[in-house]
Amino acid sequence: MIQFTWLVAVLPIISYLLIVALERRLGDKTAYFGIAALLAAFVLSAGIFVEVLNGATYHKEFTWVISGTRAIPLGIQLDHLSATLLAAVTLVSSMIHIYSLGYMHGDKRIPRYYAVLSLFTAGMLGLVIADNYFILLVSWEIMGLCSYLLIGHWYEQKGPQEASMKAFLTTRVGDVALMVGIWLFFAYTGSLKFGEIGEMIKAGHVPATAALVGSLLIFGGAVGKSAQFPLHVWLPDAMAGPTPASALIHAATMVAAGVYLVARSFPIFSAAPPQALLVVAIIGGFTSIFAASIATVMTDIKKVLAYSTVSQLGYMVLALGAGSVVAGTFHLTTHAFFKALLFLVSGSVIHAVHSQEMHEMGGLRKKMPITFWAWTIGTLALAGVPPFAGFFSKDEVLLAAANLPARLTEQGLGHLAWIGNLVFFFGLATAFLTAYYMTRATILTFFGQPRDHHKYDHAHESPGVMAWPLIVLSVPAALVGFAGTTWFGEHGNWWASFIGEQALEWGAAEPHHIGWVMPLAIASALLGILVGYLLYGVAGVKTRQNAITALRPLYTLLKNKYYVDELYMGTVVAATLAFSRVVGWVDQNVVDRIVNWVGAAGEWFADVAGATDRYVVDGAVNGTAAVAMSAGKGLRRLQTGYVQSYMLTMAAMVVVGIILFQVIGG
Amino acid sequence: MNPQVLLFLVLAAITAVSAVRVVTTELITHAALFLALAFVAVAGIFLQLQADFLAAAQVLIYAGAITTMIIFAIMLSDIHEIKPSDQEDPFPVRFRRRWASRQWGFFPVLLALLFAGGMFWLYRGTGFALSTEAVSGSTTVQLGLQLFNEYALPFELASILLLVAMIGAIILTAKEVR
Amino acid sequence: MAIPILYPLTLGAFLFGVGLYGALTKTNAIRILMSVELMLNAVNINLVTFSRYITPNNYRGQILTVFVMTVAAAEAAVGLAIILVLGRNRNVVDIDKITLLKG
């Protein structure tokens, strides 16, 4: 079965094509193509996973380009990590496909929704089985496009429209960095393969500075896609899309792609100077506490989950930065399950009460028992309460962070060991905050008295197509964590030995066991739950108001998400607008004057030269003026819409290229 | 002079002159006819380069199909271009109308000259690894064998492209869709 | 070969230059399409030349020419169809007046 790995990624593409082709004839029934394809893909990848468990691996190559004597092979590969993610992604995605049947019922663009959903999944699956940066980048961009389409599904409304644009442009910043990084390494090594580049760096084919810059550029791609600080701003806004799409984009696939990229590129990171991974760890640690603190004051249930996702992604990045591929990928897998579950539950709640504001909910526990229990499982997993999935993976992450100071000392960065301690503290504080805000969300949504009786009376348990995926996803969300216990596997825990041997090849240092980490993690999680319960379960509204008043500046800061959006608005956006204004002014006042002057000078010259060579000079002057004019207007003409002006620019660049090649390179 | 070289120069001159006429002549129908002439001359050059199959294809596809299509398009779209009024226009006006663009003056001419000159400069400086082998017989059989073995997939893709183009053209121009 | 390789290459460069000039300056869409065909022909001349002079008994260059011809035919069909529709719907074939690409 393992030789059909490619089929897993191709099945969703087939369903995408079928939906697009048969949309007119079958209408909303095309949704079943998506569901069928994803279920088939899941069965296939489950089979593949079992084979991989029994020791099979798969690698297939074909030649992409032959240029002169250099051939560039591309291929797909299946190892332990990709097989696991393949199974996880297809399971989550097929559940989301089924769930959407209920959630999107009555929507006017169901075929479009399912087509994009399928293509999106195909992008993620392609990314997982790629063995090189080329296929990875193609899949990466497919996902970027599809996320734009999914977030902007209700494009008649202003919110989704702007959010989709924001998501696309913000992640694009990271994509450019990623592309530059890939080409940098390609220029030095002539290879596009993950492992090969790492080996070439180790062998000394790449200067240390270039390796550092290149690996940070690749990390830049992950920062954009996985919504790490400072490019996290798009993810919370992206909640404007349909909730199941949010579950797919922000739990199992797109945001996971960034983390997966860093894990796959680990050979490069470990071969590059150690500062590269330190930057990764700092960004991850900072993002986790930064986003978790914002999540504590959000009142929109989806926004809470969005910031929680950003924070948990920070966790994964932190683990990878601390050198532990095992912890990072483990948290990636468990998080995919429980965060998808939580998103789907929130969708079910929103479906029932037609609101996203937690202040308008309350007491829903009795009305929606299945939803409530699924939410509870997801919450306990996310908060890190044993024995749910998140507990084990979060424990691994914290362990990796606790090992960071020692690791830094080992790498000769002993003077920076305090950063390691700081990052570990961030991780621990995040564990506390996570437990707190999830308790808060649970109590506000499901416990207490209904705050909006009209909405409460209207609420009802979701239909079967929506409830069953919740039940199915609850199982892995609760149990997957046991893969990280010592009960399975011969040495250490099962996951560590399953992923670990490969990770060791990549140069990952697996953390040593530290006894006090686990009790500390449990304690901070329980403390968070306790504080949340005391504040929202026991204390009244009055106490909370007092607390908010006492902490007014902090509360305002968090409520405004640390003003990052405003900062960007004030700097990047304003600078761009100012620049275009300056260019326009220069064009009108300086360039036009020069052009006029050139024209006047030409006329004067033509008069002096006399009538005999009038045509020649006239032509030359006009030519000069035209060159000056087109150069001057060039900036303004960038978006004229005239096809010919684009063509002219291209041709001019080709000519410049020819001349440069001849003068410098020839 | 070697008669082969002489023949080439004649064909090249025909090609060059008719190409220039394509972009400078006032009447668009004339331009289309000059285009056909250029295509036929290029077919002759292909023959000289011992690419017999391509020469035939050039005549059929370019000089035949594409030129016909362009003339049809001219007829159907009923374009009235600038009427030939050379007598009235003084030379500079005519000159500018032919060689200068409305927006960029003489810049495109300059650019095209720079391009052609730059390419010539590049070619002259390059030592090509010329082969002295002779071509063995007709290329058609060899071309066919290679096309259907090594390049079967691109060939199929090209046929799909043609099909798509055909459907696209029909849908675009059909008076009443669905 | 009696003809130096520089001759056909120069013809190709010249033809491409003429086509480029036409595509940049002409405002009539059909004329631009003709110019593009000229450029494609220039490329074909180069491909056939290299095929003949450098690998006389391997026909890769000529096969690429076959594909260029295919694409040229497809492009002409679609391009002319677009021009016809534009002429019918908006009564223009002057691309200066077609600026839907403007952002």
Is C61 within a domain? yes
Interface B-C: count of C-beta contacts within 8 A:
233
pLDDT at position A356:
78
What does the DSSP 8-state code read for residue A64? E
**CA distance linking residue B84 with residue C13, whole number of Å:** 30
pLDDT at position B41:
94
pLDDT at position A392:
83
Residue C49 token pair = 């030349």
The three-class DSSP label of residue A169 is helix
**Is pLDDT at A630 greater than 60 in this prediction?**
no
Rounded average pLDDT over A484-496: 65
pLDDT at position B34:
93
Q: What is the pLDDT of residues A125-153, one digit of tens each?
A: 999 888 888 889 989 999 888 888 888 88
- Asked if B79 is an interface residue toward chain A (Cβ–Cβ < 8 A), one would say no
pLDDT at position A231:
83
The alpha carbon of residue C44 is apart from the nearest alpha carbon of chain A, in Å, by 19
> Which chain A residue has its CA at the smallest distance from B115's CA?
A655
Contact flag A626-B119 (C-beta cutoff 8 Å):
no
Q: Considering just the CA atoms, what is the radius of gyration of chain B in Å?
A: 21
Is C102 within a domain? no
**CA distance linking residue B43 with residue A298, whole number of Å:** 73
pLDDT at position C67:
92
**Is pLDDT at A538 greater than 80 in this prediction?**
no
- DSSP percent split of chain C into helix, strand, coil, nearest 5: 75, 0, 20
pLDDT at position A69:
67
pLDDT at position A191:
81
Instruction: Say which of C63, C81, C87 has its CB closest to residue B143.
Output: C63
How does B48-65 read in b/e, with b if 16+ C-beta sit within 10 Å?
bbbbbbbbebbbebbbee
Task: Report whether A445 contacts A364 (CB < 8 A).
Answer: yes
**CA distance linking residue A349 with residue A455, whole number of Å:** 11
The alpha carbon of residue A101 is apart from the nearest alpha carbon of chain B, in Å, by 30
Contact flag A641-C99 (C-beta cutoff 8 Å):
yes
Residue A206 token pair = 């790449």
- Confidence at B4, pLDDT banded by 50, 70, 90: confident
Report the alpha-carbon angle A485-A434-A383, nearest 5.
35
Rounded average pLDDT over A367-393: 85
How does B113-141 read in b/e, with b if 16+ C-beta sit within 10 Å?
bbbbbbbbbbbeeeeeeeeeeebeeebee
Length of chain B: 178
Residue A419 token pair = 């950063």
Contact flag B107-A655 (C-beta cutoff 8 Å):
no
- Asked if C6 is an interface residue toward chain A (Cβ–Cβ < 8 A), one would say no
Is C21 within a domain? yes
Q: Which chain B positions have a beta carbon within 8 Å of C44's beta carbon?
A: 42, 54, 58
The three-class DSSP label of residue B90 is coil
Q: With a CB-CB cutoff of 8 Å, which residues 114-143 of chain B face chain C?
A: 115-116, 119-120, 123-124, 128-131, 133-136, 139, 142-143
pLDDT at position C11:
94
pLDDT at position A171:
86
**CA distance linking residue A346 with residue A473, whole number of Å:** 14
Rounded average pLDDT over B19-42: 90
pLDDT at position A349:
85
pLDDT at position A635:
47
Q: Considering just the CA atoms, what is the radius of gyration of chain C in Å?
A: 17
**Is pLDDT at A418 greater than 50 in this prediction?**
yes
Q: What is the pLDDT of residues B162-178, one digit of tens each?
A: 999 999 888 888 876 54
Rounded average pLDDT over A429-435: 89
Percent of chain C at pLDDT > 70 equals 85
CATH ID of B1-83, from 2.60.40.10, 1.10.287.3240, 1.20.120.1200, 3.40.50.2300: 1.20.120.1200
- Confidence at B55, pLDDT banded by 50, 70, 90: very high
Task: Decide which of A32 and A638 is more confident.
Answer: A32
pLDDT at position A602:
61
Percent of chain B at pLDDT > 90 equals 28
Q: What is the pLDDT of residues A116-128, one digit of tens each?
A: 989 999 999 999 8
Percent of chain A at pLDDT > 90 equals 4
Q: Which chain A positions have a beta carbon within 8 Å of C98's beta carbon?
A: 643
For chain A, which chains pass the contact test of at least 3 CB pairs under 8 Å? B, C
Q: What is the pLDDT of residues B104-142, one digit of tens each?
A: 778 888 888 888 988 888 888 888 888 877 777 778 888
**Is pLDDT at C15 greater than 90 in this prediction?**
yes
Q: How many CB atoms lie within 10 A of CB A73?
A: 15
Instruction: Say which of B91, B107, B112 has its CB closest to residue A626.
Output: B107
Going by C-beta distance under 8 Å and a sequence separation of 6 or more, which residues neighbour residue B137?
Answer: none
pLDDT at position A24:
81
pLDDT at position A612:
46
**Is pLDDT at B37 greater than 90 in this prediction?**
yes
Is C32 within a domain? yes
Mean pLDDT of chain A: 81
Q: Of A551-555, B76-80, C66-70, which range is least confident?
A: B76-80
Task: Decide which of A563 and A525 is more confident.
Answer: A525
**CA distance linking residue C23 with residue A139, whole number of Å:** 35
pLDDT at position A625:
56
Q: Which chain C positions have a beta carbon within 8 Å of A630's beta carbon?
A: none
**Is pLDDT at A259 greater than 60 in this prediction?**
yes
pLDDT at position A384:
82
Instruction: Say which of B2, B23, B158 has its CB closest to residue C18.
Output: B23
Contact flag B111-A652 (C-beta cutoff 8 Å):
yes
Q: What is the pLDDT of residues C40-54, one digit of tens each?
A: 999 999 999 998 888
Rounded average pLDDT over A349-375: 81
Interface A-B: count of C-beta contacts within 8 A:
61
Rounded average pLDDT over A566-575: 71
Q: What is the tally of structural domains in chain C? A: 1
- Domain containing C10 equals 6-97
Rounded average pLDDT over C25-47: 90
- Confidence at B10, pLDDT banded by 50, 70, 90: very high
pLDDT at position B160:
92
Percent of chain A at pLDDT > 70 equals 87
Backbone angles phi, psi at A624, to 5 degrees: -60, -50
Going by C-beta distance under 8 Å and a sequence separation of 6 or more, which residues neighbour residue A225?
Answer: A140, A143, A144, A171, A174, A175, A254, A255, A257, A258, A261
Q: How far is CA A498 from the centre of its chain?
A: 25
pLDDT at position A591:
63
Tell whether pTM > 0.80.
Answer: no
Is C103 within a domain? no
CATH number (domain holding residue C53): 1.10.287.3510
pLDDT at position A322:
86
